[in-house]
Amino acid sequence: MVKAFQEKYKLPVTGVFTYRDWNKLKEIYDNILINLNNEFVNDLYPDNFLSLGSSGDDVVRFQRYLLAICKYDHSIPGVRVNGIFDDLTNRSVLKLQKDFGLDQNGVVGPILWRKVVELSKR
């Protein structure tokens, strides 16, 4: 697979994935993101774990998804969209992890993020 990638993008064909190959892959990925619908890009996992005490734009995005779920699933404790992964957000995350059969650790990783985004779109 590495050789096929290297051949397709006219890189030295060694079969070993190098830093040069990584840069090309990153360039391709960045170009894909530029051309995607912004709403879809916002749904992508932010590449960092969220947990109690986290703050910022990624937490706001996640809380908005949680809010959409809370509007129809009243078993979720709730959420305040404030950009701070507070106790209320943590309780909601733990409930969703339990419902999905995931480790109940209060950490939002790529699997929980994807499931929450999907649920919020219903």
* Per-residue tens of pLDDT for the chain, all 122 residues: 999 999 999 999 999 999 999 999 988 877 776 665 555 556 777 778 999 999 999 999 999 999 999 999 999 998 999 999 999 999 999 999 999 999 999 999 999 999 999 999 88
Q: In sequence order, which ranges of 46-109 are alpha helices (DSSP H)?
A: 57-70, 87-100
Domain extent listing, the chain? 2-35, 46-120
Superfamily of domain 46-120: PGBD-like superfamily/PGBD (1.10.101.10)
pLDDT the model gives residue 37: 55
Cα 18 from Cα 1, distance rounded (Å)? 13
Residue 56's contacts (CB-CB under 8 Å, 6 or more residues apart) are 83
pLDDT at 45: 73
Tally the residues of the chain: 122
